[in-house]
Structure 1
Amino acid sequence: MIARRRPRLTRDDWLMTGLTALCEGGPGTLGAEPLARRVGATKGSFYWHFDDVPGFHAALLSLWQTDAETALLTADGATDTARLRATAQTIADSTTSNSPALRSEPAIRAWAQGNDLAAGVVAGVDEIRLARLNDLLAACGIGNPEMARILYASATGMQALQDTARDTAATAIGSLVDLILALR
């Protein structure tokens, strides 16, 4: 009988497994042993790609941060109003993104409640997103920085909704953008 060799796990395989584990079971599932059990591999495979568990956590958070920042760059439009709408909708609708990292944002945010590294990364992404929204609102004639905070809080809050209306987040946040712009 010939034993079939399983393909070697890549760094990306471990990161995707980590995102899935985080979403399904929380940060307690992000250790080398639970992840190795999940994929049916040895811890040695994990440590081949990551120096230690904190290094894995940093890589996981870096993946989310990179995807979140890249998504802002792709939220484009012909006018400042269109860019504002696209940016807000991209944030609100991240849980339906093609990016597994962006889809994990509610779990990343929950992790950040009890983890300083995750909290720092989330705070950095929040700062970048808020600055982008504030700049776009200012370009549209809305100078009150609290409007960016309200818009951002609404967008990230929509990610946390655990109901069937998730697929309408982009439409709902678009309506909020229209309401804010009507205040000009």
Structure 2
Amino acid sequence: MSRLSREQWASAALDALSSGGLAAVAVEPLATRLGTTKGSFYWHFGGREELVQAALQLWRQASTTSIIERLESGDAPASERLRQLFTQVFAPPARTDADLALLADADHPLVASALADVTEQRLGYITALFRELGFSPARARRRALLAYSTYLGQLQLLRTAPDLLPKHGPARTAYADDILAALLSDQPAKRA
């Protein structure tokens, strides 16, 4: 049996969190699932809280930081980066389950802190895109809040009434495009 890495443990913890909430991040079941012992866990972590923190950091990287980095790696204009962002977040990746689970456990101090940090990172990025499109700082922040509120509303619909949302393909793209069109409906004219 090969030794598991810290990242493999964190990834398994994030998978457990995504499917069963914070309560599912338990060392013994994870060790069994990974085909290892609790000793492997204690080689990398001082306790469950440290594992939860590592899983939350992995979630932040996968669900926010890497998406922003990918969008910023090209030379697409802000409107296209917003469209790509909306198309991606309104066609949920696997990590959307983690967002749902974390929102359900938002009263836990570690989760609350991670959610606050990620929310601010996401809002900051969306605000910056609206600023690039010519919105004043205050209007850009309001538009970002509206966009993010729409995302959170979609997460709630995924939990309570998933059949209301378009599943994939052209209908999903049209849904994202309609949201973006509403958010850009009174975009300031570009200055030459």
Q: TM-score, normalised by structure 2?
A: 0.77
Counterpart of 1:74, as a letter, is R
Counterpart of 1:60, as a letter, is A
Task: Give SS of 1:8's match.
Answer: coil
Query: Partner residue of 1:151?
Result: 147
Counterpart of 1:174, as a letter, is D
Query: Partner residue of 2:67?
Result: 71
| CA RMSD, 1 decimal | 2.4
Q: Which runs of 5+ in 1 are unaligned?
A: 1-5
Query: Partner residue of 1:173?
Result: 176
Q: Which runs of 5+ in 2 are unaligned?
A: 188-192
Contact 1:71 1:90 in 2 (8 A): no
Distance across 2 between alignment mates of 1:103 and 1:175 = 24
Q: Does 1:106 align with 2:100?
A: yes
Contact 1:75 1:90 in 2 (8 A): no
CA 1:132–1:51: 2 relative to 1, 3 Å: same
Task: Give SS of 1:38's match.
Answer: helix
Query: Partner residue of 1:49?
Result: 44
CA 1:148–1:137: 2 relative to 1, 3 Å: same
Paired-residue identity, %? 28
Residue 25 (structure 2) aligned to one of 4, 27, 30? 30
Task: Give SS of 2:131's match.
Answer: helix
TM-superposition CA deviations, 1:14-55 (whole Å, max 9, x none): 222212211222211212123223334321111112121111
Task: Give SS of 2:184's match.
Answer: helix
Query: Partner residue of 1:81?
Result: 79
Distance across 2 between alignment mates of 1:13 and 1:137 = 37
Regions of 4+ moved over 6 Å: none
Task: Give SS of 2:41's match.
Answer: helix
Contact 2:14 2:58 in 1 (8 A): no
Counterpart of 1:80, as a letter, is A
Distance across 2 between alignment mates of 1:19 and 1:115 = 16
Distance across 1 between alignment mates of 2:135 and 2:172 = 23
Distance across 2 between alignment mates of 1:90 and 1:23 = 19
Counterpart of 2:116, as a letter, is A
Contact 1:154 1:173 in 2 (8 A): no
